[in-house]
Amino acid sequence: MTAPSRTAEIRRLASTDEGAATAALTALFADLFGLTAEGVAINRDQYSLNSLNGFFSAGGADYFFKFHQEDGEEAMTGEYYRADILARAGLPVDMPVFVSNLPGEQVLVYRRRSDPRFSDVLRALDIASLDGRRDLAGEADAVVAERGLDVSIARVYLDSLHSVTPAEVAAEPIHRLFHDRLVDMPRRRFPGGRFASFYLGKTVLLPGVELGWEDFAARRLIVNGRPYRRSVGDLFAAAGARLRPDSLADAGGVVAHGDAHNANVWYGEGPRLSFYDPAFAGESVPSLIAEAKATFHNVFAHPLWLYDPAAATRRFSAAARLGAGTMAIDTDWALTPVRRALLAAKAELVWRPLLATLKARGLLPADWREVIRLALFLCPTLVMNLRGGATTHTETSSAIAFAVAVMVGSELESGEDEMTDFLDAIDPDR
């Protein structure tokens, strides 16, 4: 019998009764760390899709807290928040002053700092670009900072790359961001988990189109005139098979943060980036999914559509229409120049040297493109319910969401898009 998750209850209270949530946080900090917390404040944050963060003071010092809480976390084994792994490897990481990694009570407390998160810096650059007033100097600084971090990440990946057993890989917590969200735990029954609760048997609302999930998931998408080979349903099924933890040992393991989206990255002077909230850090993270979250959430999730669907709906348009076994989605959404530059840096400095080293060491599976695509596909589809009207998503943002998810997940029938360009750029045979 497992104890109920206090962090899950606090996250629930935060959306319904903030006073009760702050009281529960005060009690939590006292129980876990012996701190008498004052002025506890919850930060309303569009990036906190599975986490909660905020501020408080204790003993004359100011603190920032954050915790990540997964479905059924209290029944899981293994630790979150192993920042020491990253620090020992030489990655820039902000070390917490208080840590609890008890299941259901996994919390980090940091000294409060004035640096912005990289996500906020980049959002401002996106908005400026969309408004026709690009901040070229700001974009250049952001790319310099990204490239500096990417060089460090690549060094650690190459230095730490090692052969792993299926058991070692399966023990890593990063799977809670990918395969564990597709299945009912602990027996890994597919379909289940978030996938089932978000989508199965539900209705999908897109501009001018309303379909049952099974009908929608079976249709191949045609995005801005480009037909894709696999349907959404095909991609979920493929991910359920290929991204099983015991199937990912073939490409070795690395030391990695695992969840380095830019809301988990400080933007400091220099400019210089540093990690925090290493909820899924590990020493044997499967190499082909180690950088997937950072690649998707820092590039393809922007501008706006994943984290701020209402703003995306005001700025972009989308239309959907049905064909014989197909659905066409047309949209004017596109990456901003700074996001393209971040993707180019990630391709050049992290992915390409990693794949070249995997190939040289006989650790690159023949289907490496498929593994990367499926991991990227799961990033948006299981972090949030993408169906229009289901949560914060509108019909327009839902259409953009599924278009982007299929673009990263599926090969085209013919031709090229941003994802094929990215994969060609990192291909060690090119």
d(CA 260, CA 157) in angstroms, rounded, equals 14
All residues at 6 or more sequence positions from 155 whose CB lies less than 8 Å from its CB, including other chains = 90
pLDDT at 3: 60
Q: Which residues, in sequence order, are bridge partners of residue 220?
A: 326
Average pLDDT (98-104) is 82
pLDDT of residue 402 exceeding 80, the answer is yes
Beta bridge partners of 212: 203
What value does the mean pLDDT take over residues 16-24?
A: 94
Gap between the Cα atoms of 182 and 176, Å rounded: 9
What percent of the chain is modeled with pLDDT above 90?
A: 84
Question: What is the tens place of the pLDDT at every residue in 252-286?
Answer: 999 999 999 999 999 999 999 999 888 889 999 99
Q: Is the pLDDT of residue 365 over 90?
A: yes
Residue scoring higher pLDDT (406 or 52): 406
Q: Between 83 and 58, where is the model more confident?
A: 58
pLDDT, residue 81, reads 63
List, for residues 38-55, the tens digit of each pLDDT value: 999 998 877 766 778 999
Maximum Cα interatomic distance, the chain, rounded to a whole number of Å: 66
The residue ranges of DSSP E strands in 272-418, in sequence order, are: 272-275, 282-286, 318-323, 326-331
pTM of the model: 0.92
**pLDDT of 104 higher than 80:** no
Mean pLDDT of 74-101: 79
Q: What is the pLDDT of residues 166-184, one digit of tens each?
A: 999 999 999 999 999 999 9
Predicted pLDDT of residue 75: 46
Q: What pLDDT was estimated at residue 74?
A: 47
Structure tokens at 20: 């009760």
In the chain, the domains with their CATH numbers are: 6-111 (3.30.200), 118-426 (no CATH)
| pLDDT tens-place string over residues 213-257 | 999 999 999 999 999 999 999 999 999 999 999 999 999 999 999
The beta-carbon contacts of 40-44 under 8 Å, at least 24 apart in sequence, are 42/14, 42/18
Mean pLDDT of the chain: 93
pLDDT at 77: 43
* pLDDT for residue 428 is more than 50: yes
Question: What is the rounded average pLDDT of the residues 287-296?
Answer: 98
Q: What is the pLDDT of residues 117-165, one digit of tens each?
A: 999 999 999 999 999 999 999 999 999 999 999 999 999 999 999 999 9
Residue 204's pLDDT band, with cuts at 50, 70 and 90, is: very high
Which two three-digit tokens encode residue 335? 């990456």
Going by their DSSP bridges, the two strands 318-323 and 326-331 should be labelled as antiparallel
- pLDDT range class, residue 66, cuts 50, 70, 90: confident
- Whether the pLDDT of residue 391 is over 80: the answer is yes
Averaged pLDDT, 285-292: 98
What percent of the chain clears pLDDT 70, i.e. is strictly above it? 95
Element (DSSP H or E) covering residue 293: helix 292-295
d(CA 254, CA 237): 26
Query: How does residue 103 score in pLDDT terms, banded at 50, 70 and 90?
Result: confident
Span 91-111, mean pLDDT?
A: 88
Cα-trace Rg, the chain: 21
List, for residues 314-338, the tens digit of each pLDDT value. 999 999 999 999 999 999 999 999 9
* Residue 358 · residue 321 · CB < 8 Å: no
